[in-house]
Structure 1
Amino acid sequence: MGLLTFVALGGGAVAGVVGAPFVLGAVGFTSAGIAAGSYAAGMMSAAAVANGGGVVAGSTVAVLQAVGAAGLSGTATAVVTGTGAAVGTAVGWLAAIII
């Protein structure tokens, strides 16, 4: 791997971590709750139907809403930044291949 590949990987990882709060807000996980008609509302509806009417504490929807409402901290930081870094790194790797 060349220098450009490492730069692309690092840039993708940083973009994934820094961009996580913005992406969560954009899909509907806001500080005021889940936005009506958003992608997050669809996720919450599907989770509730699958679990007999409620969203299970600790589920993906519950964790993402907690992060959207309170910001990134503690366990939520580890979950979101780990996922964001993995996705960002993958995007950076793909960009390096294309370049």
Structure 2
Amino acid sequence: MDLCTTAAVVLGSAGAVAVAPAVLAAAGFTSAGIVAGSVASAMMSTAAVANGGGVAATGMVAALQSAGAAGLSGGATAVVGAVGGAVGYMASAAVCVLDCC
């Protein structure tokens, strides 16, 4: 892996971890709870209808709300960082193809 690709992976990973809290908040998953009229509230409504009126404690909505309220856990940070690194790698590969490496 060349220096440019390595930098793209590192920056993608760190960038994803850094912006994850802002993305969660923008979607409506906040420390004060799910924001009315947000993407989070639509997801919660859909989950409640699918589960007969309740939201599963082990579901995606609950996990995202937990991360929005308390921050990313160690495992979630690792997953978000890995996905960001993969996106950085793919972006670097795309630039290389466009530049005819």
TM range (shorter): 0.7 to 0.9
Unaligned runs of 5+ in 1: none
| Larger radius of gyration between Structure 1 and Structure 2 | 2
User: 1:47 deviation in Å?
Assistant: 1.1
Query: Normalising by the residue count of structure 2, what TM-score does the alignment of the two structures yield?
Result: 0.83
Runs of 5+ unmatched residues, structure 2: 96-101
TM-score by length of 1: 0.84
User: How many residues matched?
Assistant: 95
Aligned pairs for 1:1-99 within 5 A: 1-72=1-72, 76-79=73-76, 81-99=77-95
Separation in structure 2 between the aligned mates of residue 13 and residue 40 of structure 1, nearest angstrom:
24
Runs of at least 4 residues off by over 4 Å: none
1:50-73 Cα offsets, whole Å, 9 max, x none, are 11111111211112112212233x
